[in-house]
């Protein structure tokens, strides 16, 4: 995309897309639907549920799961000499190393697959929310209408595992901070309808509040509000201009939430019910407790649960300065909870049918912005000579080599896919894999055919653009 695209133009076009979505009406099964049905019976699902762990902000591959030569900080050092700011540690796989601070995850790497060759999209001037939009929907923003999140596609095609538990649950992201409107753009079911959108839990410590009436509200008063909501839907712009499909979908989403409020399964959202010993391992912050909630929800029959480290500009993995120190802190937040999540699901026997993915929108490098052969505007003032500790770390956005982890759901154990260069630029040099391939690999595990699509405005709209994505069969056992 040209560099002229900025946040303002992105938002303006997305607003137009919302109106276009209302006009689009109900999706019509594609011309290849009969072929999809036939193909579906020939794709044995290896997974029933998905846990999507998203490291929002840009997690540097050389500082986490693909360490390179370590150079400790010294005043006056050359930045170009620094490839990793952490020493490497061995994992449970012979010859495979992670960076220091990920000892617990290193110990379970024999239970999953490590992808070291994810290549992020070329979207011109790098904006986090544009790359996040692409990774979550597989489409480059902006689009003519709202594009479904991968969780919404899965919710629509497979439905819930447990009728009471929402099929798509998103944990950990607030929309009232930073680039909230841009984040909302891909947290949507788009033309598939509201009932397939995410059930949002911004803070896992308050998850139970999401499934019960507000404090001080009687059940009778809540019933009255439920009736009022249906009336408001009818009188809203959606009620006036939306299609019958859209109106029914909006009501269905509220009915689903209403059923959950009155069900015993709602207790799964109460992470305080977890055994204290287990709770303490997960309790490293919102992300860690989100992993705990994801475990509990999958145990109750959730289909797709997304847990994010939360994107807030210049926080978390968005390391524009103090990269080493920030990465050190982020690893403390994820190492114990993610490894415990894998162990707990493995122990309960659910890991075999639960696909877990850990990824980020792109990686980071100290000196290279974007990728070497396609320069983009530099956004960080990173000196060539490092005089202060705050300049020691991966501060620029790097899209040519990223790491992804996958566990369970039929994925090979102890497998490594792809490779990046050992010297700067540490780019992908073997077996590149793209967002479209990651999406189709997930759909393949769930038994969703690659040709799944709907006719929108008389054009086929696929789960991945023009059926370009291919499931990476080498990742499966």
- pLDDT tens for 48-77 read 999 999 999 999 999 999 999 999 999 999
DSSP state of 176: S
Contact by Cβ (8 Å): 144, 456: no
1 assigned to some structural domain: no
Q: Please give the tally of structural domains in the chain.
A: 1
Domain residues for the domain of 315 are 7-475
pLDDT per residue over 205-263, tens digit each?
988 787 766 666 666 665 665 566 556 656 655 555 555 655 565 555 556 666 677 78
pTM of the model: 0.87
Q: At what angle do helices 323-348 and 286-299 cross, to 10 degrees?
A: 20
101 assigned to some structural domain: yes
For residues 290 and 283, give the distance between their C-alpha atoms in angstroms, rounded to a whole number. Answer: 9
pLDDT per residue over 170-220, tens digit each?
999 999 999 999 999 999 999 998 889 999 999 999 887 877 666 666 666
For residues 417 and 73, give the distance between their C-alpha atoms in angstroms, rounded to a whole number. Answer: 31
Q: Rounded mean pLDDT of 351-365?
A: 98
151 assigned to some structural domain: yes
Q: Check which CATH number belongs to the domain holding 308 and give it.
A: 3.40.720.10
What is the pLDDT, as a whole number, of residue 212? 67
Contact by Cβ (8 Å): 199, 187: no
399 assigned to some structural domain: yes
The residue whose two tokens read 């959606």 is 238
305 assigned to some structural domain: yes
357 assigned to some structural domain: yes
Nearest CA to 286 among 211, 206, 167?
Answer: 206
Contact by Cβ (8 Å): 293, 171: yes
pLDDT per residue over 310-349, tens digit each?
999 999 999 999 999 999 999 999 999 999 999 999 999 9
Of these ranges, 106-110, 142-146, 202-206, the one predicted with the greatest mean pLDDT is 106-110
What is the pLDDT, as a whole number, of residue 457? 81
230 assigned to some structural domain: yes
For residues 367 and 78, give the distance between their C-alpha atoms in angstroms, rounded to a whole number. Answer: 10
Q: From residue 20, how far is each of 15, 182, 320, 381 by CA, in Å?
A: 9, 17, 36, 40
pLDDT per residue over 383-411, tens digit each?
999 999 999 999 999 999 999 999 999 99
Nearest CA to 294 among 351, 335, 365, 256?
Answer: 351
Q: C-alpha angle with apex 444: 439 to 448, nearest 5 degrees?
A: 95
CB atoms near residue 209 (< 10 Å): 13
Nearest CA to 462 among 187, 153, 156, 185?
Answer: 153
3-state secondary structure 245-309: HHHHHHHHHHHHHHHHHCCHHHHHHCHHHCCHHHHHHHCCCHHHHHHHHHHHHHHCCCCEEEEEC
2 assigned to some structural domain: no
Sign of the CA dihedral running 86, 87, 89, 95: positive
């Amino acid at each position: 995309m040209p560099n002229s695209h900025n946040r303002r133009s992105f938002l303006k076009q997305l607003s137009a897309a919302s109106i276009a979505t209302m006009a689009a009406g109900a999706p019509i099964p594609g011309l290849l639907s009969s072929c999809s049905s036939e193909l579906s019976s020939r794709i044995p699902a290896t997974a029933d549920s998905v846990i999507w762990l998203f490291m929002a902000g840009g997690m540097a591959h050389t500082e986490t799961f693909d360490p390179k030569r370590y150079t400790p900080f010294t005043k006056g050092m050359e930045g170009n000499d620094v490839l990793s700011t952490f020493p490497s540690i061995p994992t449970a796989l012979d010859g495979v190393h992670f960076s220091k601070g990920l000892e617990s995850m290193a110990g379970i790497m024999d239970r999953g697959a490590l992808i070291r060759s994810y290549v992020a999209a070329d979207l011109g001037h790098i904006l986090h929310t544009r790359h996040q939009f692409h990774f979550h929907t597989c489409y480059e923003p902006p689009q003519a209408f709202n594009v479904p999140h991968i969780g919404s596609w899965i919710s629509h095609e497979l439905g819930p595992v447990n009728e009471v538990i929402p099929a798509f649950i998103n944990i950990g992201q607030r929309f009232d901070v930073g680039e909230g409107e841009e984040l909302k753009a891909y947290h949507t079911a788009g033309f598939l309808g509201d009932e397939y959108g995410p059930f949002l839990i911004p803070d896992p410590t308050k998850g139970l509040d999401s499934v019960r009436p507000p404090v001080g509200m009687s059940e009778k008063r809540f019933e009255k509000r439920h009736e009022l909501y249906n009336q408001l839907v009818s009188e809203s712009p959606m009620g006036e201009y939306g299609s019958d499909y859209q109106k029914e979908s909006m009501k269905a989403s509220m009915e689903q939430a209403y059923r959950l409020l009155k069900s015993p399964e709602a207790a799964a959202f109460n992470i305080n019910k977890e055994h204290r010993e287990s709770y303490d391992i997960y309790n490293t912050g919102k992300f860690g407790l989100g992993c705990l909630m994801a475990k509990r929800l999958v145990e109750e029959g959730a289909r797709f649960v997304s847990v994010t480290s939360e994107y807030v500009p210049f926080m978390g993995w968005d390391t524009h300065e103090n990269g080493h120190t920030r990465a050190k802190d982020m690893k403390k937040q994820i190492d114990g909870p993610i490894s415990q999540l894998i162990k707990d699901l493995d122990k309960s026997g659910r890991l075999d049918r639960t696909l877990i993915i850990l990824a980020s929108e792109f990686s980071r490098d100290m000196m290279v912005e974007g990728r070497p052969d396609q320069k983009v505007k530099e956004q960080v003032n990173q000196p060539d000579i490092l005089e202060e500790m705050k300049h020691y770390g991966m501060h620029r956005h790097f899209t040519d080599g990223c790491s992804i982890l996958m566990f369970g759901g039929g994925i090979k154990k102890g497998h490594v896919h792809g490779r990046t260069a050992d010297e700067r630029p540490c780019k992908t040099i073997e077996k590149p894999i793209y967002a479209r391939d990651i999406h189709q690999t997930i759909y393949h595990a769930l038994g969703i055919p690659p040709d799944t699509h709907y006719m929108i405005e008389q054009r086929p709209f696929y789960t991945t653009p023009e059926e370009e994505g291919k499931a990476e069969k080498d990742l499966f056992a």
